Structure 1
């Protein structure tokens, strides 16, 4: 599994006109395929009066990729849209480009250029961000050890999520996945094997800070 995720910074749109045809590209970061399909459905409903609503999405690199020409000549719209995501290095993202036909045929080459341009403009408007994969951990320890761990966690880029104080301290935190093993070894060393962090999940988040 990749320890980093490059995706869109936000939802955005861009408009491009070619020989009286108007291309409106909408892009959005998504968490998974179901969210991408829902976004496509909503945009197709919003622009139901348009001749075409071309779409493409890419998840987890190229593990899941889908696209549709939506009535345009095969290979002239969906694949070029998907290629914009690939060339940008963007995953977990969806593009829907609406075309209002202007009465002049563009030909296959013209369509490829138009759909690519609209998609690229929208991706540029959204911006590109990279997130780090964090492992979420839970650690139950004594009050004395808790104070020691608080000083140690930042050395591994860890972020504290929550702390519960009872007979013992329950500390929940997240650490960059690449540092998880080293941090766990350090906790075991510091406690002489008494404390062992338990992994409870994972998430993609910004880096330290």
Structure 2
């Protein structure tokens, strides 16, 4: 996949419906074991709650998904929670919604809206980023070619990771894999083939808090 959305940093959100509290706790996970541990940890934290319902999706293509109503009427909690995660296009995330019963029954529709709304609130308080498949490459050039290369890089989506100026110039960049071939072609043509380009690796990158994160 060229890119997919994840929760980089989890968060918590709460809504109240007819005096019932619905607390959503969101956490990034990479495996079913991670999800199980997070669910258990949250249940211990809210041990006195009536329900701790959960949903999670794992894998670049959401190969694994699970949900639980934890005692609520079938289909009123876990499935709506899972639908919110899938609808948001998220991967590798788990959410637990804790309910403290307020004494008034909400009915099937009310429960679906409450559990869905709680997850949305939890996601709104989390940091969601897109992981994009990038190419990390080095561009080798002489001083005559660096001006043209810097111009090309400046109008592209490439991010310069490092530059070295010795008897030649070496520029290390990250660029969305989708645009990498076109960039290589443009640099090669602009420098009449004098610049050489070395592809180091493919890696997923994302932007969090204004910084580039390499996964």
CA distance change for structure 1 residues 126 and 142 in 2, over 3 Å: closer, same or farther?
A: closer
Q: Distance in 2 between matches of 1:56 and 1:118?
A: 12
- Written as runs of structure 1 = structure 2, the 5 A alignment for 1:139-178 is 139=138, 141-144=140-143, 145-164=145-164, 169-178=169-178
CA distance change for structure 1 residues 130 and 13 in 2, over 3 Å: closer, same or farther?
A: closer
Q: Does the aligned pair in 2 maintain the 1:27–1:94 contact within 8 Å?
A: yes
Query: 2:15 aligns to what?
Result: 16
Gaps of 5+ in 2: none
CA distance change for structure 1 residues 184 and 32 in 2, over 3 Å: closer, same or farther?
A: farther
Query: 1:205 aligns to what?
Result: 206
- Written as runs of structure 1 = structure 2, the 5 A alignment for 1:91-170 is 91-126=91-126, 131=130, 133-139=132-138, 141-144=140-143, 145-164=145-164, 169-170=169-170
**TM-score, normalising length: structure 1:** 0.75
Q: Does the aligned pair in 2 maintain the 1:187–1:195 contact within 8 Å?
A: no
1:13 shift after superposition: 2.2
Q: Distance in 1 between matches of 2:91 and 2:81?
A: 13
Query: 2:55 aligns to what?
Result: 56
Q: Distance in 2 between matches of 1:35 and 1:173?
A: 36
1:11 shift after superposition: 3.2
SS in 1 for 2:155: helix
- Written as runs of structure 1 = structure 2, the 5 A alignment for 1:26-37 is 26-28=25-27, 30=28, 32-33=30-31, 37=35
1:34 shift after superposition: 6.0
How many residues are paired up?
A: 205
As a proportion of its length, which structure holds more helix? 1
**TM-score, normalising length: structure 2:** 0.74
Q: Distance in 2 between matches of 1:98 and 1:15?
A: 9
CA distance change for structure 1 residues 125 and 35 in 2, over 3 Å: closer, same or farther?
A: farther
Q: Name the Cα RMSD after superposition.
A: 3.4
Gaps of 5+ in 1: none
1:200 shift after superposition: 1.2
Q: Distance in 2 between matches of 1:33 and 1:139?
A: 34
1:81 shift after superposition: 0.5
1:131-177 C-alpha deviation (Å, 9 max, x unpaired): 36251322152442455433322232100112345665543211122
As a proportion of its length, which structure holds more strand? 2
1:76-131 C-alpha deviation (Å, 9 max, x unpaired): 2111101122333444433211112345554544432321222223234447x563
Query: 1:87 aligns to what?
Result: 87
